[in-house]
Chains A and B, each alone.
Chain A
Amino acid sequence: MLKIIVLVKQVPGTDSVKLDPITGVMVRTGKDTIINPLDENGLAEAIRIKNAYPDVTITVVSMGPPSAMRAIKEAISMGADDGVLVSGREFAGSDTIATAKVIAAAIKKTGTFDMVICGERATDGETGQTAAMIAHYLKIPAQTYVSGLEIIEDGVIVRRTVESGFERVQVPFPVLVSVNKDISDTGFPTLSGKLKAKQVQVPTWANAELGLDTSELGLMGSPTRVVKIFSPKLSRDTIMAKANGTMKPIDELMAFLVEKDVL
C-alpha cells in the first residue's frame, strides 16, 4: 500500500498573466489555463508507479481559484484516484511561505501518505521554492530536481540532476520529491479516466476546513512584499545582416562580438 500525493498548479497557458498594479500580486483570471507542465511530469511518474506496483493510490492536491478544479479533474482523467481543491479568498496574496503552510495543512488533512510529488517549479511564479517549504511544514525530507525515482523497501532512491552531473540519494518514506521533465513522459486522459473524473466528488477546502491561524494566511502570513512591478526592456537595438555567400556578415558579427568583449 503506497499513497502518493501529487501537487498540481494551474498556470496560464500563455504568457498573458496580469499583475495587480497596486499589490503586485499575480491575478489569474485567464480562461486559457493548463496544468503546470512539470507537475504533469510528476503526475505521469506517479501513474507509472501505480501501474508498476499493487495497491498504489494517487491523490491530487491543487491550490488556486475555483477554476483549478479543472486541473484536478484532468489529472484524475489521466490516472489519479481522487483529489482536493484548496481554495478560498483568505488565501489570496500568499507568498511561497504562506502557500506552503496551506498546502502542507491540506496534505496532512488527507491522512497518512508515503510520498508527495510535484514539479520543481511552476511556469508562472518560477520561484521553485514552495516544494521544499512544504516538506518543512510536513516535517519530511525534500529531494529536489529529481529526474529518476526507484521504489525500494520502505523508501526511494532518487537521481537528482545538478549542475555538473547527477546525484543519487536514498531516503525513507514519507518523502517529498520535486521533479524535472526527465522523470516521466506526460500521459493522456483515458476513456475510463474521463468517466471517473465525472463521478469522483472532489471537495473544496477553505481555511474553515484547514483551521490555520488567520495571521498565517494571504498577505498577513507572507513575510515578503512586492514593492513594485515593471516591464523590463525586452526589445534590443538589433543589428541585422543578410547572408549572401560572402564573409561580410560573418566578419561584421565577429567585429561586433569583439567590440562587446564576449568572445
Chain B
Amino acid sequence: MSSYVNSSIEEAKNLADYKGVLILGEQRDGKIGAITFELLTWGRGIADTLGCELSCVLLGDEIENMQEVILRGADKVFFIKAPIFKDFLPQPYSNAITRLVNEEKPEIIISGATTTGRTVMPLVAAKTNTGLTADCTELTIDPDTKLLLQTRPAIGGNIMATIKTPSTRPQMSTVRPRSAKQAPINTSRTGEIIVKKYEGATILTVEKFLEFIKDTTQAVSIEEADIIVAGGKGMKNAQGFKLVEELAEVMGAAVGSSRDAVELGWATYPHQVGLSGKTVSPKLMIALGIAGKIQFLAGMQTSDVIVAVNKDPEAQIFKVADFGIVGDVFEVVPMLIETVKKMKAKA
C-alpha cells in the first residue's frame, strides 16, 4: 500500500461530503434492463454495510414501472427525463450523470460493465477526476478505512487485482453482467422517485441517434445468457456447427464460438468468446469441440459451471472444466440434444 497522498486532487474535494451508493440503471424502449436489478443486489449489500442510502439513476424519456426499482431495493430513484435520453448517447448521458453526481455527491457509483456502462463511466470519471475500476467481480468494504475494495480479473483472468480509490470521490466501478442475482421484489419497501429535468448545456450534444437495429441472429446475447453453448474447430464445418446451435436452442441458451469458428465463417463475431471477442461469465458454459487456447479460456473461465466435450483427452479445455466428456462431438451432442428434449418435455 502506498502512503503517498495525492494532494492536487484531494484538496479539491472534501471527501466527507460524499455519502451513499448510486447505481446506474439502464433502459431500452422505456423498459428497465435486467442489469439494473443485478446492480440493486450489489448496491444494497454495500449500502447496508456502510449504513447509507442506495439510489438508482435512470435516464430516459418515458420509463415504465420505476416503482419496481424501489421494491427491489433502491431508497431513491433519480429519473433524468428528457427526449434526448430516450436512447443512449455518450455526451448528454455523461453530462447529466456528472451533474447529478455534483448535486447528490454519492460516495460510490456502480454500473454494469455493459457497452453503455463501459462508455459512460469513463466519461463521468474523467469529468469528476476520480478513479474507475472496470469489470469487477467482487466489491467489499474495508472494515477499517470504509473504502471500497474492487476486485477484478486482469490479463485474461490469470491474475486478480484488488483496487481502491483512496483520495478522490466518488469511488467508481463497473461490474460484470450476471455476476449477481437480480434483487428480489419486496412489496413492503418504500422509496422516492425524483424527476430531474435538466436543461441547457447538459442536454446539448453534437451526437445524433439515428436508429437501433435488433440483432435477429441472436435470440439471447452471450453477455446476458445464463447458459452458453459454444463450438470450435472440432465441429468440422458449418453443417457440424449447426449441432451447437441446435443444442443451444433446446436448452434456451446463447450460441458462443471460438475465434477459429468465427474465422472459418461458421459463426459471426458477436458470438465470439475470448480475448478478442467477449468475456462471458454464464451460469453454465458448454464447450463443444474447443481445444481451449488461452485466448478462449480467458474469456470464459469465470463461468460458474463449465462442461467440455472434446475427443482429445489432453485438450486444455478440460483443465478449466467441471465436467468433461472425452469423445466425438458428433456422437455425444446428438445424444445430449435428445436427452434435453425429453427432459423439457417432461417438465
Chain A contact residues, CB within 8 Å of chain B: 14-15, 17, 19, 23-24, 26, 37-38, 95-97, 100, 123-133, 135-137, 141-145, 147, 157, 160-172, 180-182, 213, 215-216, 219-232, 234-245, 247, 249-251, 253-254, 256-257, 260, 262-263
Contacts and interface: CB of A to CB of B under 8 A. Distances in A.
B123 A238 contact: no
Given A24-B161, A97-B129, A224-B164, A170 B90 contact: no
B212 A127 contact: no
Contacts of B331: 243, 245
Interface pairs A-B: 5 shortest CB-CB? A243-B327, A223-B131, A224-B131, A129-B122, A136-B126
Q: Majority SS of interface residues in chain B?
A: mixed
B231 to A, nearest CB: 17
B167 interface: yes
Interface of B: 1-2, 4, 6-9, 28, 87-91, 114-116, 118-123, 125-127, 129-135, 149, 153-168, 205-215, 218, 221, 223-224, 226-227, 251, 269-270, 272, 275-277, 279, 283-284, 294, 298, 301-302, 304-307, 309, 313, 318-328, 331-332, 335-336, 339-340, 343
Given A167-B209, A226-B163, A228-B161, A242 B322 contact: no
A262 B127 contact: no
A14 B224 CA distance: 28
Q: Majority SS of interface residues in chain A?
A: mixed
B108 to A, nearest CB: 14
15 contacts: A19-B161, A129-B118, A141-B91, A141-B206, A144-B118, A164-B214, A167-B88, A181-B272, A225-B163, A236-B321, A238-B322, A238-B324, A243-B328, A247-B335, A253-B325
Given A161-B270, A166-B213, A180-B269, A236 B322 contact: yes
Contacts of B322: 236-239, 256, 260
B123 A135 contact: yes
A25 to B, nearest CB: 10
Contact of B154 (A126, A136, A160, A251): A126
Nearest to B308: A238
A243 B115 contact: no
A245 B332 CA distance: 8
